[in-house]
Structure 1
């Protein structure tokens, strides 16, 4: 989705996300376990793990939860084995959606995602049907009052950011996936907490959504997907103008 659509979506979901702290902890725990499995449990030598631990602390995740997730990833505790999967589908208005899943049960995840698409006016697509329309990037969104534009631009470019966009009420910083952890650490050292930071699938082509009914249906589908147990993130190629986004947020 475009930067302003993602920003508005982030703000729209903030209250709901705060109320779903348990889901957030579950998602981060899985990511920490996977990062530990792939890169080792020493955060000093595993930048992805270090970034995720920072994310966990920013979400006020208890230290015991973090330690347990690391031990699971290191094989020190028995338990499930997680896999990372992508599902692709179409929503109302022809919007394309990429759904990131971390799961220990592929059959459950596929059933939940397919059912949610169907019930909310969309349909699950085959592998590769949509992925070519997206590029994998690091994305940071920050309110304008987090830091001056010149300071942000300097920090971002000094840490290999690809682009810095200035919107009406926020900044968007985009980088290659390999540079995401470096930028996250740079923000941490400055004491700056982005409003959103993730490895996202950014669309190459946007689908404009201009009517309120379709906009609500798209957002309802995304929110329903995000509520599923195994869903880590949902990325879309929709574009809604600011007045419409504000209207459906009421």
Structure 2
């Protein structure tokens, strides 16, 4: 799950197989539990929970599943022990990798992440070793074709985004990317939601300042191995890299 990915990857995620979809739902379920523990079960007064609900809807999680998750979390606050952790390191060819983890077992998570880096011939670093190469931003992805069907062009969307408090709107080949200050993400997302804009993705992500191109086939193979192994871990929430995939 790459947080700052090409829209083709986002589309692929929307069309993922049942096993992959199950992992997404499990991760979001854990995020719901953590949000409820931190701020209560009422999204009206818990902006973090409101953001997770929006993320769940963007990933086509059924509303009944969302509400049941909130109820379960509210009834089991004493047993919710998930922690948010961040690992940083380098893959081959100096590709920077940040791994966001949500876990109830730090030892298991650490072993999974370390194994992924080792098998892909990369190396784990200390906290802060690569995060300086990234900037945290609120990111909202809008499908371009869907926006056109609704009668919204780039200029109209830019006006909406700026009025909502966003920093910028970037037009890509097949999607629009709205960027916000992390602290303003919830507010901007809510205002755009009120404009009835369907969001393909909405989350706070890590965006690389510069990207690295890798052409060596063996290096690409090892990078993919690292990312695939990280994605296979039930504890890994998001992975961010500065690799410019071809």
Counterparts of residues 56-71 of structure 1 (less than 5 Å): 56-71=56-71
Counterparts of residues 191-202 of structure 1 (less than 5 Å): 191-202=196-207
What is residue 93 of structure 2 aligned with on the other side?
A: 93
RMSD of equivalent CA atoms? 2.5
- C-alpha change, 1:55 and 1:17, in structure 2 (3 Å) is farther
Point out the more displaced range, 55-64 or 87-96.
55-64
User: CA offset at residue 64 of structure 1?
Assistant: 5.0
Give the length in aligned residue pairs: 240
Whether the aligned pair in 2 keeps the contact of 1:84 and 1:101 (CA below 8 Å) is yes
Question: What SS does the corresponding residue of 2:79 show, helix, strand or coil?
Answer: coil
What is residue 187 of structure 2 aligned with on the other side?
A: 182
The answer to whether the aligner puts 1:122 opposite 2:104 as a matched pair is: no
What is residue 231 of structure 2 aligned with on the other side?
A: 226
Separation in 2 of the partners of 1:113 and 1:38? 26
Please give the per-residue CA displacement for 1:52-81, whole angstroms capped at 9, x wherever unaligned: 223323434344543443345446455341
Gaps of 5+ in 1: 245-250
User: Under a length normalisation based on structure 2, what TM-score does the superposition of the two structures give?
Assistant: 0.85
User: CA offset at residue 151 of structure 1?
Assistant: 1.9
What is residue 84 of structure 2 aligned with on the other side?
A: 84
The answer to whether the aligner puts 1:10 opposite 2:13 as a matched pair is: no
What is residue 149 of structure 1 aligned with on the other side?
A: 154
What is residue 165 of structure 1 aligned with on the other side?
A: 170
What is residue 247 of structure 1 aligned with on the other side?
A: none
Whether the aligned pair in 1 keeps the contact of 2:34 and 2:80 (CA below 8 Å) is no
Point out the more displaced range, 229-238 or 207-216.
207-216
User: CA offset at residue 216 of structure 1?
Assistant: 4.5
- C-alpha change, 1:211 and 1:7, in structure 2 (3 Å) is farther
User: Under a length normalisation based on structure 1, what TM-score does the superposition of the two structures give?
Assistant: 0.84
What is residue 214 of structure 1 aligned with on the other side?
A: 219
Question: What SS does the corresponding residue of 1:85 show, helix, strand or coil?
Answer: strand
Please give the per-residue CA displacement for 1:72-123, whole angstroms capped at 9, x wherever unaligned: 5446455341100000121122111110000000000000111111112322
Gaps of 5+ in 2: 148-152
Whether the aligned pair in 2 keeps the contact of 1:72 and 1:79 (CA below 8 Å) is no
